[in-house]
Structure 1
Amino acid sequence: MIFRKQALLVVDVQPSFAVPEGMIRDITALSRRLYTIATVERHDEAITPFERQLGWHPGADDDSLVPADRIFIKHGYLPPADAIDHLKSLGVDRVLVCGVQADTCCLAAGFMLFDAGLHPTLLKWLSIGSSLDRSADLGANLWRHHFGSVLYSADALRLDR
C-alpha cells in the first residue's frame, strides 16, 4: 500500500514512565523527519480515577521527552479527539504510532485512528509495553490482529522525505 502523507504519533513518552534513553533518542531522530504530534498523560483525579482505582497516577505537570510539532494533553488511556481531528485536517492517511504502553495507550490510539479512517501502524522497536509486558510483544500482537500493520525495525520504515 502506498501512503500519500504520514505523521508520527508519540504516545506518553514522558518523565512519569521509565522510558529507555535509547528509545527517546531514536524517536527524537524520527520526529525530525516527520510531522509529529505527541500525547502527554497528566493526572487529574476528577477526570480519570487512576489513584482511586489503581493506586498510582502520572505526574500533574509532565511534559513530552521528545520534540513534537504539536503536544496534546490527555487524561486517561485515549488520545484526545482533537489530536485525531488535527491529523485528519492535515490530510494524513497513515499514522506511525510509538511510545509507552503498546498494549493499552498505544492500542487505544490505534482504535481511535482506525475508527477515524486513518491507517495506524505500530513502530514496535520504538515502543514499550505496560508492566504486564515491557517487551511490547503483547501490544504488537493485539495491534497486528486489529489493524494489521506493525513494523519491527527502522529498515521496514520507508520515508519519502
Structure 2
Amino acid sequence: MRQALLIVDVQPCFGPPAWQVEGVAKLAPTMHSVATVERHDEAVTPFWRQLGWKPAVADEPLVPADKVFVKHGYLPPPELIGHLKDLGIERVLVCGIQADTCYLDAGFMLFDAGLNPTLLKWITVSSSLDRSASLGANL
C-alpha cells in the first residue's frame, strides 16, 4: 500500500512543542510528505471576527515536506487530495496541530476521498491557543 505523511499546521504561530517538531522531522523523510500551513486572510476565513485571534499572514512549516499547501480555514485545500491521488497514495498518515479541529477535519476529508487516513496521536497536539481542546466545541 502506497502511503504518505500529512503534516497539519506545524508552524510557528501555533507554538508546537520541540518534541513534536523533532518527531515529525524524523518521520517525514521516510516517505512522501505533504504539509499544510494556515495563513490568515479575513476575507476567506473570519478568524479575527469570530474568535478574536488570527494565524500569521506568512507562516511557514517548521518541518520540511515534499510539497506544501497553503490553506485558509480548517480543511486542507482540495488540491492536496488531488496531489495524493495523482501519486497513487492509498494510505495517509496524519500528524500535526489542532487535534480538535484542523487535524480531525483533514482526517475526515481524507476518509471521504477514500485515502485511508491513519491519525498519529503520538506526534499530534491540540493548539497552543487552547490545550483543553474546547475551541472545537465552541465553534
Q: Aligned pair 1:56/2:53, yes or no?
A: yes
Distance in 1 of aligned mates of 2:55 and 2:17 = 17
User: What residue is the counterpart of 2:4 in the other structure?
Assistant: 7
* Amino acid paired to 2:132: D
User: What residue is the counterpart of 2:72 in the other structure?
Assistant: 75
* Amino acid paired to 2:20: M
Aligned partner of 1:25 among 22, 26, 48:
22
Moved over 4 A (4+): none
Q: C-alpha offsets along residues 137-160 of structure 1, whole Å, 9 cap, x if unaligned?
A: x9xxxxxxxxxxxxxxxxxxxxxx
The percentage of counterpart residues that share the same residue type is 60
Structure 1: gaps (5+ residues): 139-161
User: What residue is the counterpart of 1:104 in the other structure?
Assistant: 101
User: What residue is the counterpart of 2:117 in the other structure?
Assistant: 120
Query: Normalization by structure 1: what TM-score?
Result: 0.79
**SS of residue paired to 1:25:** helix
Distance in 2 of aligned mates of 1:46 and 1:91 = 34
User: What residue is the counterpart of 1:141 in the other structure?
Assistant: none
**SS of residue paired to 2:26:** helix
Distance in 2 of aligned mates of 1:6 and 1:133 = 31
Aligned partner of 2:91 among 91, 94, 106:
94
Deviation at 1:34, TM superposition (A): 1.1
How large is the RMSD of aligned CA atoms in angstroms?
1.3
Distance in 1 of aligned mates of 2:73 and 2:84 = 20
Distance in 1 of aligned mates of 2:132 and 2:31 = 28
Distance in 2 of aligned mates of 1:52 and 1:75 = 14
* Amino acid paired to 1:115: D
Distance in 1 of aligned mates of 2:27 and 2:35 = 13
Specify which structure has the bigger relative contact order, considering alpha-carbon pairs within 8 angstroms and separated by 6 or more residues. 2
Structure 2: gaps (5+ residues): none
**How many residues are paired up?**
132
User: What residue is the counterpart of 2:132 in the other structure?
Assistant: 133
